[in-house]
Structure 1
Amino acid sequence: MRPLLRYFITAAHSGPLPLMGNHWSGPTTGDTTSGMKQKRQYAALPFRVAEDTVEVLLLTSRGTGRWILPKGWPKKRMAPHKLAMLEAFEEAGVKGTIAKRAIGHFHYVKRMERRPDVQCRVAVFPMHVKMVLAQWPEMDERQRSWISLTQAAGMVEEAELSTILESFSPPH
């Protein structure tokens, strides 16, 4: 019998599961093939509906200028969806109502300045924007832009996030 190669399978809305042979080879924290530990983050998907057109708000990252969703690290005693809403306020200057359940997850590598890079698994919570602020905490560090779902899917670097954007339909 031929030895099995190390490979990944991806279940719907879950991260890559490293397998060795016929058994699970990684801890529940989510090791990756590069040896990076997987950390969790929570993101808001800020959206608005204007004349039957859905637009989402993307913003630039501080370090690389990539187009991203507002997101952040977990905080003690703060629910994931509430943290995502707080990040939307701080990073993008928007307020609104946010879903309590994530609509999906995506993975990316967080580039760290003075520490090793970190593999992140990001849960995405849709947020219906009710207010766009003229001033917000990180306004001098980022750009923001309202764009169509199709445009947004083409602007983000993460394939899994692109898929979430392409399939997004706001709750009624």
Structure 2
Amino acid sequence: MTKQMPITLNGAGKGELRLQFAALCWRRKKGKLQVLLVTSRGRRRWIVPKGWPMEGKTPPDCALVEAWEEAGVQGKAAAQPVGSYSYTKAGPQGPLPCLAMLYPVKVKALAKHYPERGQRQRQWCSRKKAARLVDNADLAGLIRDFEPEAPAEERSPSA
């Protein structure tokens, strides 16, 4: 992990804000959009895969690595995030404010064996159910409003 310089927000005092990259893993099953959630390791809450910046990797690549490690996702990350959400991560020196950039990841396959398999559960659900299961209101809104771009054959021709 590379050392990240603190990001400060106006009016936020001397607190530090850390940046993470998150994966909104999705698929269509029988025409219905589904989102993949995983449990956190500590309190077993439903979350999306996320992690710290990695040396030599772009933000979407970082999100894809986290999706693989935490959920066994094999897929493709979008180049642009759908949004961001803030949360407080419990750290050894106390609470750590974080901002997560959320990248859509179209899931092609789920591996049976992946690095954090024994530490987490994973679950496919509708956007509505996923939004109910996650604790973070901003993340819930991003999930609820998420609509991946239609495949080329479904898009209307431009005028």
Task: State whether TM-score is above 0.5.
Answer: yes
Judge conservation of contact 2:46–2:133 (CA < 8 Å) in 1.
yes
Letter in 2 for 1:66: R
What residue identity is the alignment partner of 1:117? P
1:32–1:38: 8 Å Cα contact kept in structure 2?
A: no
Deviation at 1:153, TM superposition (A): 0.4
Quote the residue 1:153 is aligned against. 131
How far off is 1:35 after superposition?
A: 5.2
Cα offset for 1:29?
2.5
Uncovered stretches (5+) of structure 1, i.e. residues with no partner: 1-26
1:97 aligns with 2:81: no
Separation in 1 of the partners of 2:143 and 2:109? 21
On the 8 A contact 1:42/1:123 being kept in 2, the answer is yes
Q: Matched residues in 2 for 1:32 and 1:87: separation? A: 32
User: Is residue 61 from structure 1 mapped to residue 40 from structure 2 by the alignment?
Assistant: yes
Between Structure 1 and Structure 2, whose CA radius of gyration is higher?
A: 1
Q: Indicate conservation of the 8 Å contact 1:29/1:39, yes or no.
A: no
| CA displacement 1:143-162 (0-9 Å, x = unmatched) | 10000000000111111101
Of residues 125, 149, 154, the one that matches 1:171 is: 149
1:8-19 alignment, distance < 5 Å = none
Measured against aligned partners, the alpha-carbon deviations of 1:89-148 in whole angstroms (never above 9, x if no partner) come to 000111101101001000100011x21211110000001100111110000000100000
Conserved 8 A contact 1:29-1:37: yes
The structural deviation recorded for 1:32 is: 6.9
Cross-structure match for 2:93: 115
Letter of the structure 2 residue corresponding to residue 104 of structure 1: G
RMSD (Å), alpha carbons: 1.6
Change (3 A) 1:32 1:44: farther
Residue type at the aligned position of 2:33: V
Q: What TM-score do you get using the length of structure 1 for normalisation? A: 0.80
Aligned pair 1:40/2:30, yes or no? no
1:85 aligns to what SS in structure 2?
helix
Identity within the alignment, %: 37
Contact 2:35/2:127 (CA < 8 Å) preserved in 1? yes
Q: What is the distance in 1 between the residues matched to 2:10 and 2:41?
A: 26
Aligned residues: 145
Gaps of 5+ in 2: 1-5, 151-159
Per-residue CA distance 1:58-112 (angstroms, 9 max, x = gap): 0000111111000000112210000000000000111101101001000100011
Task: Please give the alpha-carbon distance, in whole angstroms, between the structure 2 residues aligned to 1:45 and 1:92.
Answer: 11
TM-score normalised to structure 2 length: 0.86
